[in-house]
Structure 1
Amino acid sequence: MTLRIGYVREHFSSPLLQFAEDDQEQTFSLVECPSGTGQLISRLTNDEIDVAIALTDPLISGIANGSKAYKLVGSYVSTPLNWAVIAGKESQYNNISDLKDTTIGISRIGSGSQTMAYVMALQQDWPSQGMKFRVNNDIRGLITSVNEGTSSAFMWEWFTTKPFLDAGEVRFIGSVPTPWPSWLIAAQPSVSSDSLKAFLSTLSTYVRSFDSPENRSGKNVEFVKAKFGYPENDIVDWQNTVGYPDDCLSISKEVISETLRVLENAGVVTAPEGGFDIGNFIKPDVVKLID
């Protein structure tokens, strides 16, 4: 079968895009989801994609909150994601502390931008109950919202948003790194395990190649520059912050348990009596849980 792979067209997707360019047998097709993980989860739920490469926290919180539409099947990025906290270019908000009791812009309900707003509230000791959100769909809608004043701020990955900062469209007023590795891979439970394992095994070779010291210093920079138009110094700075797994077919138990712990403390999920069963979060005939 030809797998439908949902992804966000960002610099993190570079190994996937390199794989796609070399996939002469067309074993998979790419389905771009510009609104981010909320859109990826929606498309998994609506059978519009088979696989999603998406942010760790919304994937895990979705399953914890009862979704049966997907299971975790692999790892993609092993380092935290640095979320910028972004305000309008002429807004009154200058620090994260100014945002208490305001309306935060998000892309979609259940997205990483919403989950991380709860984490920010946890760090600031704000009550998560009653937080106010405005859905703005994508990065352009979020920027418009903070500049019009319909939301106070929004959160988005630092380097993805930096071109808008450099252009003077927004201001950064802080950052909140994720307390977990930032990207996992999920799939519909009905998708062929053999197809998933073949895809993830080959993806692992592209991930390892992209993560190699020799490619970081040359090939990667030129690829990201050509695909996304980022300045070379931003690409180098980003690469200094990012790491990829050796094997996309494994997930650490601690990644799932620690993410659940933080999300529970932030009020995003509620543990059932007896706690969460980590085995319920994965497709066990595809991915290996490691200690």
Structure 2
Amino acid sequence: MPLRVGFVREHFSSPLLQFAEADGGKTFTLVECPSGTGQLIGRLENNEIDVAIALTDPLISGIAKGSKAYKLVGSYVTTPLNWAVITGKNSEYNSIADLKGTTIGISRYGSGSQTMAYVMALQQGWPTNDLKFKVNNDIRGLLDSVNDGSTSAFMWEWFTTKPFVDAGEARFIGSVPTPWPSWLIAAHPERAPADSLREFLGTLSTYVREFNSRENRAGPDVQFISEKFGYPEEDILAWLKTVGYPEDCAAIPRKVITETLDVLLEAGFVHAPEGGFQVEQFVDTELVHLT
């Protein structure tokens, strides 16, 4: 049975999409999850996917909060994610500071859009125990909510939301980069066979290294992203200057887990058990090279 791989169709997914086109469904099939990491985690829990390429912080916080639906099996993007803070085109909010005490739009509870709201509050010195959220499922629901006034703002990746801002549907009022590398790979501990995962991670590493090469960044990557996502060339080139991928998708630096937990603990989004967290509880130790 091919692995069912959940993903978000964004420019970050380009090496995965190239791999999928070459594979033709022989070893894995893609399952699109437009609502993001909260949806990916839900589908892991509901036996709708076996593997998820998803945001670092919700994956780690989910395990920290007790989820048994997945373990970390690899890395996908080694650089931070730049989260834009977006408000309505005619809203009263003009800076992040204006958002204190308001209702923030999120895609789902446990999503990156929620965890990063805690990080934003931490940076601003706001209390994190009384943040207010409204679930709006996807980018369209989030945009509608900031324009109908039911939320003040929401957070989403900068270049994914830029076309909506360029079209006048919303406004940027700030950004909050993640304090951690942005994307990891997780898998259900029983449904995803180890041999299949090793093959998947090994071949994905090849596509990631090719995409990440200087030669492909100079031309082929730009053309692929333009054809798949319709972004202007200047936006693609600007994004490529900011993004990095791993040499080995089956390796995870220990500090990615420990430093992410430190921030999530400080923000009050997770709470440590007696004796603290152990890195090994977050990963499939048979598959992952902890570095």
How far apart in 1 are the matches of 2:209 and 2:269? 33
Aligned-residue offset at 1:101 = 0.3
Structure 1 match to 2:81:
81
How far apart in 1 are the matches of 2:142 and 2:273? 34
Structure 2 match to 1:113:
113
Long gaps (5+) in structure 2: none
Aligned AA for 2:137? Answer: N
Structure 2 match to 1:144:
144
Aligned-residue offset at 1:130 = 1.3
How far apart in 1 are the matches of 2:98 and 2:239? 28
* Local SS of the residue matching 2:269: coil
- The answer to whether 1:283 aligns with 2:268 is no
Is the 2:2–2:25 contact (alpha carbons within 8 Å) kept by the matching residues of 1? no
- The answer to whether 1:123 aligns with 2:123 is yes
TM-score (norm 1): 0.99
Aligned-residue offset at 1:175 = 0.2
Aligned-residue offset at 1:26 = 1.4
Aligned-residue offset at 1:25 = 6.1
How far apart in 2 are the matches of 1:248 and 1:66? 25
Structure 2 match to 1:155:
155
Structure 2 match to 1:97:
97
Structure 1 match to 2:263:
262
Is the 2:7–2:31 contact (alpha carbons within 8 Å) kept by the matching residues of 1? yes
Alignment of 1:7-46 (within 5 A): 7-24=7-24, 26-46=26-46
* Local SS of the residue matching 2:239: helix
Aligned-residue offset at 1:160 = 0.2
How far apart in 1 are the matches of 2:94 and 2:230? 29
* Local SS of the residue matching 1:147: helix
Q: Deviations over 1:122-167 (max 9, x none)?
A: 0001011011000000000000000000000000000000000100
Structure 2 match to 1:213:
214
After the TM superposition, list the runs of 4 or more consecutive aligned residues in structure 1 that deviate by more than 6 angstroms.
none
How far apart in 1 are the matches of 2:61 and 2:22? 34
* Local SS of the residue matching 2:76: strand
How far apart in 2 are the matches of 1:24 and 1:63? 32
* Local SS of the residue matching 1:241: coil
How far apart in 1 are the matches of 2:25 and 2:178? 37
Is the 2:78–2:245 contact (alpha carbons within 8 Å) kept by the matching residues of 1? yes
How far apart in 2 are the matches of 1:242 and 1:52? 20
Q: Deviations over 1:256-279 (max 9, x none)?
A: 000000000001100111110110
Is the 2:34–2:138 contact (alpha carbons within 8 Å) kept by the matching residues of 1? yes
How far apart in 2 are the matches of 1:236 and 1:11? 12
Long gaps (5+) in structure 1: none
How far apart in 2 are the matches of 1:129 and 1:266? 9
How far apart in 2 are the matches of 1:37 and 1:119? 17
* Local SS of the residue matching 2:87: strand
Structure 2 match to 1:4:
4
State the identity %. Answer: 73
Aligned AA for 2:17? Answer: L
How far apart in 2 are the matches of 1:3 and 1:284? 20
Aligned-residue offset at 1:245 = 0.3
How far apart in 1 are the matches of 2:84 and 2:18? 27
Aligned AA for 1:168? Answer: G
Aligned AA for 2:161? Answer: T
Aligned AA for 1:87? Answer: T
